[in-house]
Structure 1
């Protein structure tokens, strides 16, 4: 085995060699971005490629240099803001790298995470307003580069092409990034400039008149590599799968990184995201089985727009002697709005003599302005047979929002022969809310590794929430509220390396998430035990865990008005099993299975003993690729096939309506035309499997239908 070190974490590596405490292969494997595996088809011998520690920045900087080359990540910040080895991290973390995103042709966050254990997607069917996915039964909080964004439910549709990787943490962990639910959280890692020349351009076309073009390239500006840039963009014009639809997007992101010394880096990133789409086809009448493209909304009142500008700063400095400083800040301004007519008729088409269906208008206009900054110190040292890593940080988050919500009765529509009424004209908001939130936090993490075997991790955090709301509701009248809350959360974890390849872990973690002013914070706890296996022979990670989590003071949103309601307590006990492996140099495999025993606890109240809505008992998935090497006249061909099983789940907390289990297949084919030119075809829901993903009591919403996309890509 050959080991090359090119700058990053050189001090940390020297400490380990100097003390001769840690086993060489294991320690460097924990720092490496990936392990490449090459095997001659006619030989039984195995050759490991060099492990390269190659990136710029300090020990507090996540290494993503191999994410575009491998589906297996070896390092993560999914548990907190201190990068750590996936194998010895005492928590369940899944990483979806840029290579996996491209391989599966995932063009939404839902598609990115849908092959991850513990995650369920598409449970709202053809409602296209948000990224609908749950982790261990709860909608997650999302973060970007460790800085809070907000819940996925009700948030902006993020653009996956902006990210180097997406980290999915399963379980409670407010000590890591801050506010969260016990089900889990997601951290998006932004593409940053590299100290080398690289790039790609692509064009995509396919189903629903889809037309898309994108680029991602960068280079050094100065000859001494101290200044680099990166420019990323995606422009899309498309319809959705129903009539009178639209799915357009403009995304542009530019970044510049300055490295005045080997120990210091400063990055600035600006990105602009502009979406112009439609929210939904309006649903389908209950007790019918119509085509997905049938539209029962209003063409003149059917919009879903988003416009966001984001400015980010990321600073890293290595003081030497094991001490590093990392700071990041982000300012964003977001304007979103949607309006549509949707079916709300419990009887649906059950009466053959009555073909008229009741409908409602629903809309929202929201403005969000956020400034968030985080700074922390990391100190690493060795003494005798103990390696210590200590993190101490502070965070400030200010978020102001104005939200107007519209709701009114809409004219009936004949589902057998639709005639549209032209929209509602001007609507007065029935609910207006102005919200001002300020959060201050201090946090601490200590990881101690004994004899390179036993790792003990402690995380502590205190959040001070200053929340203010004022508004007016057409049903209840004016309202206002203030909250000044202090909440302490903690996490304890232990990991033991049984061998250099196999580790077992156990953890206890807490979460805190204030829903709104004047309401008790949502809190959660989780107990978890598990094992992880990372073979040395080829890049892979196999994991299995058992957990018991509880969430209290849950805010839910149910049809028809989707107004907030509170559930006292929900308890989920489950199992997650996941594998990601590059079994040979031409075979990749991703597999996942999850089981959740869901139980609402309300001491004899309405939902006591019921299952939480949109939480299937069983889910499973498998995705594999096989590459057939070229023979001179023919280039490499890669075949991909996947299947996703979503078990039955209830549509409501009362457990009165339930889905059917379903299996959905996906496929991919890539042909290497030339060394840097490929043609890729991706098909989602290959066999056009159709099932009811959501029955809100007033309409059906089907799962997404078959979509086929072809992409021509040129890299350099």
Structure 2
């Protein structure tokens, strides 16, 4: 007997410190802000010279908002939906331009893919305390990175050793028993300043709104940078991460959460599982290095390598549909997974001029390898009364485990040329990948395989006016392997995406302001679809996403900084093997808008104080692919208040209060289907004290 396995299960320190305000005598004195878009090009390219949409999030921004996950750090980024699974913090769900599939595995760390295994529970995360910044690349990026979602990717940049000694200590407390401590130390280790270290760590824990489920995390990142010669540098790094408690991650039916079931609604704090069968433990170990050698001023070689070893253990009792007016059906899911992965990227960058054309050439060869040994269990549990729950039940049936070995090998060769001709900027790139995937049933020795090659390309053009305006247009493609099998038992061919984008970027000269407008059209073909009468899949599905995004960052005065964004995303199921063809895809807001403002008092009795307020709005979200139901629109308000205690003689000490969901809105954030809808997070209040030295 098979049991339903919900889609979400299958993928299954707020900061004090300096405010975001740059002090200056007058607006003319503000130095220009050069925002680079390295993730798009793998080279240092200014934001307004990149013919593709990219949003850059600096750590000062998410610190001020009190974000303690990467998905929360991206809350105010247009084109990114971060609320798929509501109150859950187990994974970083980042759906870009409406593409929800792969939203937990589209992250990269320092240019290398965070080797999550989509379709399993081994989706890895990096705590934002260890990051310097996050770049969100909108649209396909396979030309430089290989397999990736057509919606884009999220590139995370780690903090790195610095040759000036500094440090920071933080303590945090809040409601739901939130508590945490973190540190960050860096500086030179020799008198000649040819070597430097960085040691960053944190420990934090909290209860959740779904009693008795808890969250707990410990992480440590030791690093060493060494200037071997004046032309050669080497950085050794590690990231050690353990989540003994992974928090809540489950959904409930649309009927009973969004609308009444038998005249009643389930509490947004209801726990439908069993404490003795509730477990999520994740351990991640990443080690690697970055080597760079400058052969000449115009020629540089780089190699980045990282090895990942991770273990995940899971047990969960979850609900699947109503049994009667008060009771929910319940099933059991378990997993024991062991993941090993290797990623390496070799690059050669050359800067040269031919006639009146300046070239930045990038050639590379990269390799990704992933092995995941998994054991999945399932079973059945007694029903539970959603309005008067009684716990302590035992399983009524347990089924045979499924044991599989999941392997992937990918080798890619890529070439990119960025051309500058006067005010014109052109970007041309191509890549060829060899992909080998196999999934083996260890009990039957039945193997599903894919041995494929893929080509990805990109062409973009931009004109940079002297006043800072930069209109652009681009065409990019992507590919992403499918996990479903055809009638012969082989993995179906990878899905393929292509995007046409046009837009306008603007950064007024001599200011920190930046604005962007983009219009895009993405199609993804060869998606896995299945007819109701068949047990196998076909690569016949197609999704179309089109929309517009606007983003603005403005320093209004010396004291006030504003950030605003809006995205309209229309995602259509263009081709399916069922009655949903032509419908709007679910789990995606058609309209998403946000604004965040922060004000710093720099004179008078309030000197040292800063205050911030943000509003997020989500609208027009379908609950299912059949488009039978929609979620109510919802608006969330976040706030912060910070104070630099140097004003009262405590040099280096600052404090911050963060309140997310200030109005304690009770809402359903999203639905993966009519059977699995996810409550949003209740109000969170945290206080942080920081000491920088």
TM-score normalised by L of structure 1? 0.85
Residue 73 (structure 2) pairs with residue 112 (structure 1): yes
Residue 225 (structure 2) pairs with residue 257 (structure 1): yes
Provide the residue aligned with 1:492 in structure 2: 459
Provide the residue aligned with 2:533 in structure 1: none
CA-to-partner distance for each residue in 1:21-51, whole Å, 9 max, x for gaps?
Answer: xxxxxxxxxxxxxx9965436xxx72244x7
Residue 352 (structure 2) pairs with residue 381 (structure 1): yes
- SS of the residue 1:131 aligns to: coil
User: Which aligned pairs between 1:18-167 and structure 2 lie closer than 5 A?
Assistant: 39-40=24-25, 46-49=28-31, 74-139=35-100, 140=103, 141-150=106-115, 155-167=123-135
Provide the residue aligned with 2:306 in structure 1: 330
CA-to-partner distance for each residue in 1:589-631, whole Å, 9 max, x for gaps?
Answer: 1111000122111267422101112122110011110001254
Distance 2:314 2:629 in 1: 27
- SS of the residue 2:143 aligns to: helix
Distance 1:500 1:405 in 2: 59
Distance 2:602 2:666 in 1: 36
Provide the residue aligned with 2:509 in structure 1: 536
Distance 2:629 2:537 in 1: 20
How many Å apart are 1:126 and its aligned residue? 3.6
Distance 1:428 1:316 in 2: 52
Residue 474 (structure 2) pairs with residue 507 (structure 1): yes
Residue 373 (structure 2) pairs with residue 402 (structure 1): yes
Which of 593, 608, 621 does residue 636 from structure 1 map onto? 608
Whether the 8 Å contact between 1:299 and 1:422 is mirrored in structure 2 is no
Whether the 8 Å contact between 2:316 and 2:332 is mirrored in structure 1 is yes
Distance 2:420 2:294 in 1: 22
Provide the residue aligned with 2:416 in structure 1: 445
Which of 654, 660, 663 does residue 626 from structure 2 map onto? 654
Distance 2:337 2:347 in 1: 33
Provide the residue aligned with 1:242 in structure 2: 210
Residue 594 (structure 2) pairs with residue 621 (structure 1): yes
Provide the residue aligned with 1:293 in structure 2: 269
Provide the residue aligned with 1:462 in structure 2: 432
Provide the residue aligned with 2:387 in structure 1: 416
Provide the residue aligned with 1:54 in structure 2: none
Q: 1:40 to 1:227 in 2, by over 3 A?
A: closer
Q: 1:430 to 1:659 in 2, by over 3 A?
A: farther
CA-to-partner distance for each residue in 1:459-500, whole Å, 9 max, x for gaps?
Answer: 110110121211169xxx763122211111100011111224
- SS of the residue 1:690 aligns to: coil
Which of 313, 328, 333 does residue 357 from structure 1 map onto? 328
User: Deviating runs (4+, > 4 A) in structure 1?
Assistant: 35-39, 150-154, 281-285, 425-430, 563-567
Whether the 8 Å contact between 2:115 and 2:124 is mirrored in structure 1 is no
How many Å apart are 1:535 and its aligned residue? 1.4
Provide the residue aligned with 1:392 in structure 2: 363
Provide the residue aligned with 1:8 in structure 2: none
- SS of the residue 1:552 aligns to: strand
Q: 1:387 to 1:337 in 2, by over 3 A?
A: same
Q: 1:607 to 1:700 in 2, by over 3 A?
A: closer
Distance 1:128 1:713 in 2: 24
Distance 2:209 2:321 in 1: 23
Provide the residue aligned with 2:561 in structure 1: 588
CA-to-partner distance for each residue in 1:277-326, whole Å, 9 max, x for gaps?
Answer: 24427545623434332222101111111101110200111111400011
Whether the 8 Å contact between 2:380 and 2:395 is mirrored in structure 1 is no
Provide the residue aligned with 1:479 in structure 2: 446
Whether the 8 Å contact between 2:172 and 2:689 is mirrored in structure 1 is yes
Gaps of 5+ in 1: 1-34, 52-71, 558-562
Distance 1:391 1:103 in 2: 36
Provide the residue aligned with 2:3 in structure 1: none
Distance 2:618 2:288 in 1: 38
User: Which aligned pairs between 1:543-622 and structure 2 lie closer than 5 A?
Assistant: 543-554=516-527, 568-602=541-575, 605-622=578-595
CA-to-partner distance for each residue in 1:239-283, whole Å, 9 max, x for gaps?
Answer: 112111110100000100001233221000011000022442754
Distance 2:577 2:195 in 1: 64
Distance 1:198 1:336 in 2: 35
Deviates more, 1:126-135 or 1:653-662: 126-135
CA-to-partner distance for each residue in 1:189-236, whole Å, 9 max, x for gaps?
Answer: 111101111110000000110110001111100111101000000101
- SS of the residue 1:100 aligns to: helix
Higher relative contact order (CA 8 A, sep 6+): 2
CA-to-partner distance for each residue in 1:519-547, whole Å, 9 max, x for gaps?
Answer: 21021000000010011242121000101
Q: 1:38 to 1:243 in 2, by over 3 A?
A: closer
Distance 1:240 1:564 in 2: 39
Provide the residue aligned with 2:403 in structure 1: 432
Whether the 8 Å contact between 1:301 and 1:424 is mirrored in structure 2 is no
Distance 1:618 1:320 in 2: 49
Provide the residue aligned with 1:308 in structure 2: 284
Provide the residue aligned with 2:140 in structure 1: 172
Whether the 8 Å contact between 2:654 and 2:691 is mirrored in structure 1 is yes
Distance 1:634 1:642 in 2: 21
Whether the 8 Å contact between 2:380 and 2:398 is mirrored in structure 1 is no
Cα RMSD for the two superposed structures: 2.4
Distance 2:228 2:89 in 1: 45
Distance 2:127 2:576 in 1: 42
Distance 1:96 1:191 in 2: 14
How many Å apart are 1:124 and its aligned residue? 1.9
Provide the residue aligned with 1:55 in structure 2: none
- SS of the residue 2:92 aligns to: coil
Whether the 8 Å contact between 1:37 and 1:538 is mirrored in structure 2 is no
Which of 343, 346, 361 does residue 319 from structure 2 map onto? 343
Distance 2:390 2:86 in 1: 24
- SS of the residue 1:176 aligns to: helix
Q: 1:192 to 1:593 in 2, by over 3 A?
A: same
TM-score normalised by L of structure 2? 0.88
Distance 1:175 1:669 in 2: 43
Q: 1:138 to 1:82 in 2, by over 3 A?
A: same
Whether the 8 Å contact between 1:527 and 1:548 is mirrored in structure 2 is yes
Which of 681, 685, 688 does residue 704 from structure 1 map onto? 681
Distance 2:250 2:568 in 1: 32
Distance 1:564 1:409 in 2: 27
Provide the residue aligned with 2:500 in structure 1: 527
Distance 2:270 2:577 in 1: 42
Which of 195, 199, 219 does residue 163 from structure 2 map onto? 195
How many Å apart are 1:582 and its aligned residue? 2.8
CA-to-partner distance for each residue in 1:120-147, whole Å, 9 max, x for gaps?
Answer: 1212224443222200011441111111
Provide the residue aligned with 2:7 in structure 1: none
Distance 1:312 1:263 in 2: 21
CA-to-partner distance for each residue in 1:79-128, whole Å, 9 max, x for gaps?
Answer: 13222111110100011111112111110111011111101121222444
How many Å apart are 1:712 and its aligned residue? 0.1
Distance 2:133 2:396 in 1: 43
